Amino acid sequence: MTHSRAIHLVSRPLRFLLIGLAVAIFTTTAPIAADGRPGIAGGITDKPFIHADGSGTRIGGYMETHLRWEREAGFTEELTFEAKRFNLFAYAPISDRLRMVAELEFEEGGEEIVVEAALMDFDLHPAATFRMGMLLAPLGRFNLAHDSPANELTDRPLMSTDLIGTALSEVGMGFHGSFYPTSAARVAYEIYAVNGYNDGVLVGDADGTRIPAGKGNLEDNNRRPSWTGRLAVSPKPATEIGFSVHTGPINDWEVEGLQIDARRDLTLWVVDVQAELAGFRAEGEFASASIDAPATQPLLASAQSGYYAQLSRTFGYGLLNAMPGSRFTAVARLGNVDFDTDTDGDHQTRLTLGLNFRPVPDSVFKLDYQYNWARDGFNNETTTAGILFSAATYF
């Protein structure tokens, strides 16, 4: 994809987001929290410890532990315990208009320590807040709200981890907010300039084009910002449709004004949906990626896609007399990621069936059965199955 074509493809959604921002700022609207809904339920500014009684700086977090038993071709590939995550949150209301939020993540028992978020919000208008710092990119709803205690299954969707790179955190700044066309309906937006992905997308993984290999761009490698934004339409509190885009260059093509390579852009599109109907909760996302891969390297993919669809039903409220606030949830998820949409191979599909128990809303025990179909670049299929048991809780 040429640079001019990439600009043309992304211009319309960016104009749409900017028009929404202008309407939000210059139109008289209700306050951001007019209907009591956060910008993103379970997002960085919607955690249990933030809503607890008290004032001043607050500290919270969550922890998650796994037991995994996975088999391939009749052999046990993995039987292990994992101290998967231990995350710490901090929240500080600095003034009526200014606040700070941060999240520090310890993964795999401390093998990896990541600043997942460290941001400052400054309210300019009831429908417009300036945000800067280490941001969770608004690339689909799951990247914005992926805490383990809030999710019904142990593993995150394949599309989120292997295509987008959740949790995708980026340094940048921009605006977010909400406005209300009616008493029940809401339109929420986020739009930021960020450092974006780097050329690890093309050269960072031996398996070929892998977008998550290009994240972690703490200092922009090409001195050109990328743009990311999400527009979410919610006709009623239980229903939301989101449209997201992330676009920008991934390589450094100029040195002191001298062109040393062709500019290579990456554009990601995501559509996310959530709804409730007849006691069931449905949610899902679809993503498509276009990458300017060198034509001289046919093993590098220039188009990728992925999706997940999840259906859950909660039941047994207060079934256990000793725990009147407890409940059970049955859940099924089908997901897929295609690392090269122009070939038959190089893709993976996963089906997960789960049953979880919540003694209280902020703590959960999960039991999942997982089956995977994967094909390599030569279209050879491998199947794996596993049983996962995990526990996660906010604190």
- pLDDT tens-place string over residues 21-34: 555 444 433 333 44
Residue 56 has what pLDDT?
Answer: 82
**pLDDT, mean of residues 377-395:** 96
Residue 358 near residue 149, CB atoms below 8 Å: no
What does the mean pLDDT of the chain come to? 91
Q: Pick the more confident residue, 292 or 110.
A: 292
**pLDDT, mean of residues 144-168:** 97
Cβ-proximal residues to 119 (8 Å cutoff; 6+ apart), any chain = 44, 100, 101, 102, 131, 132, 133, 134, 135
Residue 52 near residue 58, CB atoms below 8 Å: yes
- State the Cα–Cα distance between residues 201 and 250, nearest whole angstrom: 8
Residue 42 has what pLDDT?
Answer: 87
Indicate if the pLDDT at residue 12 is higher than 80.
no
In degrees, to the nearest 5, what angle opens at C-alpha 341 toward C-alphas 335 and 346?
Answer: 70
pLDDT-based confidence at 17, cuts 50/70/90? low
Per the listing, tokens 């062109």 go with: 259
Tens of pLDDT, residues 176-186: 999 999 989 99
**pLDDT, mean of residues 145-151:** 97
Residue 10 has what pLDDT?
Answer: 46
Q: Pick the more confident residue, 2 or 243.
A: 243
Indicate the fold that domain 3-82+122-394 takes in CATH.
Answer: Porin (2.40.160)
- State the Cα–Cα distance between residues 237 and 185, nearest whole angstrom: 7
Residue 87 has what pLDDT?
Answer: 98
- State the Cα–Cα distance between residues 131 and 137, nearest whole angstrom: 12
- State the Cα–Cα distance between residues 202 and 206, nearest whole angstrom: 9
Residue 207 near residue 221, CB atoms below 8 Å: no
Helix, strand, or coil (residue 310): strand
Residue 256 has what pLDDT?
Answer: 84
- Number of Cβ atoms within 10 Å of the Cβ of 121: 19
| Whole-Å CA distances, 92 to 43, 48, 89, 391 | 16, 14, 10, 28
- State the Cα–Cα distance between residues 189 and 187, nearest whole angstrom: 7
Tokens describing residue 171: 């340094």
Domain range summary for the chain, segments of one domain joined by +: 3-82+122-394
Number of helical (H) and strand (E) elements in the chain, helices listed first: 5, 18
- State the Cα–Cα distance between residues 252 and 221, nearest whole angstrom: 6
Indicate if the pLDDT at residue 336 is higher than 50.
yes
Indicate if the pLDDT at residue 282 is higher than 90.
yes
> What is the residue type of 93?
P
